């Protein structure tokens, strides 16, 4: 009679399966933690880079605008927090303006400049404060009309629709600036957004009252102090900058 022979059985025991499951669980947890940490680091680095880029752009744009502003045209407003000023379109030296007790004139004489004169411009001489720029009765701002003869090195520019008038006073440097009131610049902080003439410049600003004006002294021109605190994804970046107005009355 033949003897029955049984083949050996192959497979995993329960203990082996439990050990494998535990090892796979540990590996999965480690990989998940690594991916989560890497994602968090990337998100924080990206947020930090966005904050820095946004701050640099806003401050650089503000720098360029303020440095080209009309002397003593800077002013602050609240609700919302705004910095307002008037940019210079053109400037030159005048050779004659009517100032009392001289006779009133309907023109000013200036050294020729390259920019074509526009009838939307206004001429201003020796502004000492924001009221000289924005008050209609300051006597320092006058409408310009047209050039009498643009072929000469010295131009006679008709002012105030040809009505004889006076400027309040002369400039020590005999400087006349030309401005366009429609080109006024206003930086405002609304909520956490910085707007330039209602156009978004930067976001995620977490502080109020970001602008401060230090008036001109005998040693220096006026200065704007800017303080921005950017906040995003638990990242914070603070930027403080001082901008000096380059032009003098």
Give the Cβ contact number of residue 182 at 10 Å: 6
pTM (2 d.p.): 0.78
Over residues 104-135, the pLDDT tens digits come to 999 999 999 988 999 899 999 999 988 999 88
pLDDT digits (tens, 9 = 90+) for 17-26: 888 888 888 8
pLDDT digits (tens, 9 = 90+) for 2-56: 555 555 555 667 787 888 888 888 888 878 777 777 777 666 666 677 777 878 8
Contacts of range 246-249, beta carbons closer than 8 Å, 24 or more positions apart: 246/67, 246/68, 246/221, 247/68, 247/69, 247/70, 247/71, 247/88, 247/91, 247/177, 247/221, 248/71, 248/173, 248/175, 248/221, 249/71, 249/72, 249/126, 249/127, 249/128, 249/171, 249/172, 249/173, 249/175
Give yes or no for residue 80 having a pLDDT over 60. yes
- For residue 32, the model assigns a pLDDT of 78
Q: Whole-number mean pLDDT of the chain? A: 86
What's the pLDDT at 168?
92
For the chain, the structural domain boundaries read 47-83+185-244, 88-182
What is the bridge-based pairing of β-strands 199-202 and 193-196? antiparallel
Residue 57: what pLDDT? 87
Residue with tokens 């989560």: 36
The helix, strand and coil proportions of the chain, stated in percent and rounded to the nearest 5, come to 25, 35, 40
**What Rg value do the Cα atoms of the chain yield, rounded?**
34
């Amino acid at each position: 009679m033949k003897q029955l022979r049984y083949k050996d059985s192959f497979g995993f025991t329960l203990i082996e399966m439990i050990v494998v499951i535990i090892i796979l669980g540990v590996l999965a947890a480690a990989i998940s933690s690594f991916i989560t940490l890497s994602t968090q680091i990337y998100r924080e680095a990206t947020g930090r880079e966005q904050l820095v880029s946004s701050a640099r752009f806003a401050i650089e744009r503000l720098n360029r605008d303020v440095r080209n502003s009309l002397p003593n045209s800077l002013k602050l407003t609240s609700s919302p927090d705004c910095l307002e000023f008037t940019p210079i379109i053109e400037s030159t030296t005048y050779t004659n303006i009517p100032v009392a007790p001289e006779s009133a004139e309907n023109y000013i004489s200036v050294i020729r400049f390259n920019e074509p004169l526009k009838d939307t411009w206004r001429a201003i001489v020796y502004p000492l404060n924001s009221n000289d720029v924005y008050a209609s009765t300051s006597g320092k701002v006058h409408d310009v009309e047209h050039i009498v003869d643009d072929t000469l090195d010295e131009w006679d520019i008709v002012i105030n629709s040809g009505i004889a008038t006076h400027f309040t006073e002369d400039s020590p440097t005999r400087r006349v600036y030309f401005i366009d009131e429609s080109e006024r610049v206003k930086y405002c902080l609304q909520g956490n957004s910085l707007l330039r003439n209602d156009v978004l410049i930067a976001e995620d600003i977490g502080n109020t009252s970001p602008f401060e004006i230090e008036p001109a002294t005998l040693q220096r021109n006026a200065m704007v102090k800017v303080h921005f605190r950017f906040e995003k994804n638990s990242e914070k970046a603070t930027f403080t900058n001082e901008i000096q107005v380059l032009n003098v009355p």
